[in-house]
Amino acid sequence: MANAKAMALVRTAIRRGELAPAITKECMDCGTQAVEYDHRDYSKPLDVDPVCHSCNSKRGKAAGEHDHVIILPVVRVTKEQYDKLQAILEQKGITYSQWLRERIERAR
Ligand SMILES: [Zn+2]
């Protein structure tokens, strides 16, 4: 399994409420607020660690195929802000990743 597929499965699990968003957790390596999930092995797509941006870059690449790299802007929000954002996105009928993608398109 390649990285994009594994990341898509993580996003699906978050949307279904099976996995809490990374920003609601602490970085597994340094204890600050986590901003993303890190895969150590893409063949285990839901075996992920919440990490901050700097620890994730220190960890290096996971095992498995790397078909492309997606760099998303890191948006630091509180849990309250995140919940508010989720409510707005729900009204619009779009997911958090779609919203991020739109922001990237607009920034280009
Ligand atoms: Zn960290």
pLDDT tens series, the chain, 108 aa: 788 899 999 999 999 999 999 999 999 999 999 999 999 999 999 999 999 999 998 998 888 877 655 555 566 677 887 888 888 888 889 887 788 778 777 766
Sign for the pseudo-dihedral over CA of 47, 62, 78, 71: negative
CA of 73 to the centre of ligand 1 (A): 17
* Cα 92 to ligand 1 centre (Å): 33
Q: Separation of 27 CA from ligand 1 center, angstroms?
A: 5
Per-residue confidence (pLDDT) for residue 13, from 0 to 100: 94
CB 3 within 8 A of CB 67: yes
Q: How many domains does the chain have?
A: 1
Q: Is the dihedral of CA 28, 30, 33, 38 positive or negative?
A: negative
Count Cα neighbours of 50 within 13 Å in the Cβ-side half-sphere. Answer: 15
Structure tokens at 88: 């707005």
What domain range includes position 23? 3-107
